[in-house]
């Protein structure tokens, strides 16, 4: 009996085992069938064919990265949406070309020669002798640029790809829309400065998904510009934050000065340390037809396929060194074709408001602006902490006021419409220079809305509100840290700490119609321009004959006698701009007078009349040595001379050199205005305000302010 039972059990086990094998075999067969089907579909995609064609010439490390990417896509292919698959079949591209001693030898030797200094710098200075590094050539496509070279630092083999850098060219200023040069690192994880550009590497299912403000969105509608789609350029698939490694203190061996800076040696001392704050990336793009041309908004665009190869490499290396330069491979050549490009089609990383708020937030972080934090700690946090330690019944009232510099284009409007300020509340103004006084525009192309930064009253108020909110959070955070050391809970004191936002007033006599009503304010130097605008407008109303007869004002006669607009030449090339009117003429002359006054104050200091340039009593006494007309003619002479000197010096970057006859026939009015704006932009920081007023009281009795 036992033998029969054992026999039945054994046969049952054999049957079950056989059935399991059959089921497993069936499943494996289905899986193999699916993979085979996916593989067959993938092999029909042109980009995959291009990748496989080059893979046979790649180094083993790069070939492994390709295989890893292809395997992940193959496994996930059936899970992709039909739209994603269609994009891969219709528009996916891989522009890579292997360069090595055994393949494309002549191009390999040329690239090695052109980038020899940069490669030696990476190897010998940065000690990068293994892994991959990326060399980016940001010079124009008509000189052999708009290419990047993924270099295997072990065997020096190269993968060349098409890229797209900024359509505005090279630059380092925030919100300039330009691509910086020098050494950068891409980090797989970068948490040290959370407000900076962060790397986001997508999985296979994220191919062609859009990224905006560190969030994954839906899949892009197309991979090429299509005006009917109504979809702007986006970062897609992967983004790699470019974190600048150069602080301006060391000589960096770039080739760009040979071609772009007239051999100016000062540009070798690159400071690209704000690239993270500028939210600059290497990223996949939904504008693949623009690869190979300088048409980005400042980032380095690559194809999505290549972005996944970078993702594989960075996942292994953790860090990817990137060296951006502008190297001419040949003399300029005419372009046969340029893709459709619309400037307002560019990617959004962060708006001006968001970006500036981020930079402002950084002032409170560990590596923030030292003086700002030091003053805040010394003048506010410490007194408040001491006050609450000594008496927990005190009340603290904090009033925070803030304003931005008045945009250059608002100068004329603010004066001539100051009695109807409500009209300005709905107007958008343009910053020709950023908040650090660096030129934003594209030479004198002031008609292009995308060559300058526009800002409305609502946007200025939004920036200011974010400043105030950030300041409040920082103050409460620091109080909590300090008071906790004495076992005092700041939450118990919230009813005694009042923080309000108030309008900024520089002095008690400030009128309600002042520019701060729009969220803007002026530096002392720019206030002088408005003073002279008022002088000229008053002269026009009461003594117009002086404008016709006085030698410093005769140049304005055509504006008055023709009672209309004049065309103005705005650069030495003689290009004409929008028509100028008498208000523009007055603004140009007011700038000259204001610059002349600054020069006269310097002379007054040198002659012993003034203690310093801000000595108002001394200046009034010095002015009294001239009669009224003589003084204005003197200011005009000094202002013109200084403006001429400035426009032809290295200090000016807008390429609009004035001439000694800048006022002749009124044809250089715009040139005077723009050069003067650049001259005064150095004082812009002085009107980038944040004021904090604190009152500490006990039983309504003021103890300290």
- The band of 323, judged by pLDDT with boundaries at 50, 70 and 90, is very high
Q: What are phi and psi of 348, to 5 degrees?
A: -100, 125
What integer pLDDT is reported at residue 424 of this predicted model?
61
CATH architecture of 97-330+340-349: Beta Barrel (2.40)
- The band of 450, judged by pLDDT with boundaries at 50, 70 and 90, is very low
* Integer Rg of the chain from CA: 32
Whether residue 100 has pLDDT greater than 50: yes
Least confident of 76-85, 390-399, 544-553, 648-657: 648-657
- Copy the structure tokens of residue 249: 């203190």
- The band of 2, judged by pLDDT with boundaries at 50, 70 and 90, is very low
What integer pLDDT is reported at residue 449 of this predicted model?
36
- The band of 475, judged by pLDDT with boundaries at 50, 70 and 90, is confident
C-alpha distances out from residue 279 to 130, 243, 541, Å: 28, 9, 50
Instruction: Please report where in the chains the tokens 């002095």 appear, as a residue.
Output: 507
Tell me the sheet residues that pair with 636: none
What integer pLDDT is reported at residue 328 of this predicted model?
92
Across 292-316, average pLDDT? 94
pTM confidence score = 0.53
Least confident of 37-51, 361-375, 490-504, 630-644: 361-375
Whether residue 650 has pLDDT greater than 70: no
pLDDT digits (tens, 9 = 90+) for 30-61: 444 444 545 557 888 999 999 999 999 999 99
Whether residue 147 has pLDDT greater than 90: yes
Across 10-22, average pLDDT? 38
Least confident of 166-170, 469-473, 621-625: 469-473
Whether residue 582 has pLDDT greater than 80: yes
DSSP annotation string for 266-320: GGGS-B-TTTTTTT-EEEEES-GGGTTSS-BSSSEEE-HHHHHHHHHHHHHHSEE
Percent with pLDDT over 70 in the chain: 76
pLDDT digits (tens, 9 = 90+) for 488-545: 887 777 778 888 877 665 443 444 334 445 577 778 888 899 899 989 988 988 888 8
What integer pLDDT is reported at residue 203 of this predicted model?
94
What integer pLDDT is reported at residue 37 of this predicted model?
47
Whether residue 638 has pLDDT greater than 80: yes
Whether residue 224 has pLDDT greater than 70: yes
What integer pLDDT is reported at residue 560 of this predicted model?
75
Across 623-650, average pLDDT? 89
Q: Which residues contact 606 (CB under 8 A, 6 or more apart)?
A: none
For the chain, the domains span 97-330+340-349, 359-521, 524-682
276: nearest Cα among 243, 248, 246, 324: 243
DSSP annotation string for 587-636: HHHHHHHHHHHHHHHHHHHHTTS-SSTT-HHHHHHHHTTS-HHHHHHHHH
CA 464 to chain centre: 19
Query: Which is it for strands 235-241 and 200-201: parallel, antiparallel or unpaired?
Result: antiparallel
What integer pLDDT is reported at residue 438 of this predicted model?
62
Least confident of 51-60, 336-345, 666-675: 336-345
HEC profile of 549-575: HCCCCHHHHHHHHCCCCECCECCCCCC
CB atoms closer than 10 angstroms to residue 641? 15
What integer pLDDT is reported at residue 515 of this predicted model?
47
User: Is the separation of the CB atoms in 565 and 529 below 8 Å?
Assistant: no
What integer pLDDT is reported at residue 21 of this predicted model?
35
pLDDT digits (tens, 9 = 90+) for 159-204: 999 999 998 889 888 777 889 999 999 998 755 444 578 899 999 9
Burial class (CB in 10 A: 0-12, 13-18, 19+), 700: exposed
Whether residue 265 has pLDDT greater than 80: no
What is the CB-side half-sphere exposure of residue 262 using CA atoms within 13 A?
3
pLDDT digits (tens, 9 = 90+) for 275-298: 888 889 999 999 999 999 998 989
- Copy the structure tokens of residue 494: 């919230």
| Average pLDDT of the residues of the chain | 79
pLDDT digits (tens, 9 = 90+) for 227-241: 777 788 899 999 999
Q: Who wins on pLDDT, 13 or 116?
A: 116
């Amino acid at each position: 009996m036992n033998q029969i039972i054992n026999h039945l059990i054994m046969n049952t086990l054999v049957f079950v085992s056989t059935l399991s094998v059959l089921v497993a075999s069936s499943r494996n067969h289905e899986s193999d069938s699916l993979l085979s089907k996916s593989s067959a579909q993938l092999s029909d995609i042109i980009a995959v064919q291009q990748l496989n064609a080059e893979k046979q010439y790649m180094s083993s490390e790069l070939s492994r990265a390709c295989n890893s990417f292809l395997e992940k896509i193959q496994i996930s292919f059936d899970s992709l949406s039909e739209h994603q698959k269609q994009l891969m079949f219709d528009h996916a591209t891989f522009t890579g070309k292997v360069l090595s001693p055994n393949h494309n030898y002549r191009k390999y030797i040329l690239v090695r020669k052109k980038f020899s200094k940069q490669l030696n710098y990476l190897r010998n200075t940065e000690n990068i002798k293994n892994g991959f590094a990326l060399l980016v050539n940001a010079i124009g496509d008509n000189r052999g640029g708009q290419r990047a070279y993924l270099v295997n630092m072990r065997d020096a083999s190269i993968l060349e790809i098409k890229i797209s850098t900024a359509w505005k060219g090279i630059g380092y200023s925030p919100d300039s829309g330009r691509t910086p040069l020098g050494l950068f690192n891409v980090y797989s994880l970068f948490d040290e400065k959370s407000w900076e550009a962060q790397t986001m590497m997508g999985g296979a299912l994220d191919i062609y998904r859009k990224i905006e403000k560190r969030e994954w969105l839906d899949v892009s509608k197309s991979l090429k510009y299509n005006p009917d789609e109504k979809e702007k350029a986006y970062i897609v698939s992967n983004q790699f934050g470019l974190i600048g490694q150069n602080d301006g203190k060391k000589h960096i061996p770039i080739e760009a000065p040979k071609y772009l800076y007239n051999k100016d040696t000062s540009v070798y001392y690159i400071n690209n340390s704000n690239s993270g704050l500028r939210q600059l990336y290497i990223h996949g793009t939904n504008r693949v037809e623009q690869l190979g041309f300088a048409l980005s908004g400042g980032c380095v665009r690559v194809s999505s396929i290549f972005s996944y190869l970078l993702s594989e490499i960075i996942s292994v290396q953790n860090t990817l060194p990137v060296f951006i330069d502008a190297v001419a491979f040949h003399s300029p050549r005419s372009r046969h074709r340029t893709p459709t490009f619309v400037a307002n089609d560019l990617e959004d990383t962060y708006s001006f408001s968001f970006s500036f708020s981020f930079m402002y937030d950084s002032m409170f972080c560990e590596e923030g602006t030292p003086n700002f934090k030091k003053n805040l700690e010394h003048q506010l946090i410490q007194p408040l902490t001491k006050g609450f330690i000594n008496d927990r019944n005190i009340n603290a009232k904090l009033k925070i006021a803030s304003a931005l510099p008045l945009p250059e284009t608002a100068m004329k409007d603010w004066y001539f419409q100051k009695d109807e300020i409500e009209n300005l509340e709905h107007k958008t103004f343009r910053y020709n220079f950023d908040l650090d006084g660096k030129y934003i525009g594209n030479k004198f192309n002031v008609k292009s809305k995308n060559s300058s930064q526009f800002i409305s009253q609502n946007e200025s108020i939004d920036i200011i509100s974010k400043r105030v909110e950030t300041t409040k959070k920082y103050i409460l955070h620091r109080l909590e840290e300090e008071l906790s050391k004495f076992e005092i809970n700041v939450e118990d004191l919230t009813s005694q700490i009042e923080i309000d936002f108030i309008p900024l007033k520089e002095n008690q006599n400030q009128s309600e119609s002042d520019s701060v009503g729009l969220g803007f304010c002026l530096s002392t130097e720019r206030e002088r321009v408005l003073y002279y605008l008022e002088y000229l407008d008053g002269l026009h109303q009461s003594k117009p004959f002086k404008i016709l007869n006085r030698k410093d004002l005769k140049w304005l006669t055509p504006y008055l006698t023709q009672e209309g607009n004049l065309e103005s030449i705005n650069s030495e090339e003689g290009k004409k701009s929008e028509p100028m009117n008498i208000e523009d003429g007055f603004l140009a002359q007011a700038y000259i007078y204001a610059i002349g006054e600054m020069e006269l104050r310097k002379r007054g200091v040198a002659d012993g009349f003034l203690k310093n340039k801000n000595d108002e009593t001394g200046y009034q006494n010095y002015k009294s040595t001239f009669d009224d007309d003589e003084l204005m003619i003197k200011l005009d002479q000094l202002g013109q001379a200084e403006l001429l000197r400035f426009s032809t010096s290295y200090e000016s970057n807008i390429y609009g050199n004035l001439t000694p006859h800048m006022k002749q026939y009124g044809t250089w009015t715009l040139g005077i205005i723009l050069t003067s704006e650049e001259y005064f932009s150095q004082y812009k920081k002085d009107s980038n305000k944040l004021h904090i007023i604190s009152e500490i009281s006990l039983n309504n009795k003021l103890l300290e302010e």
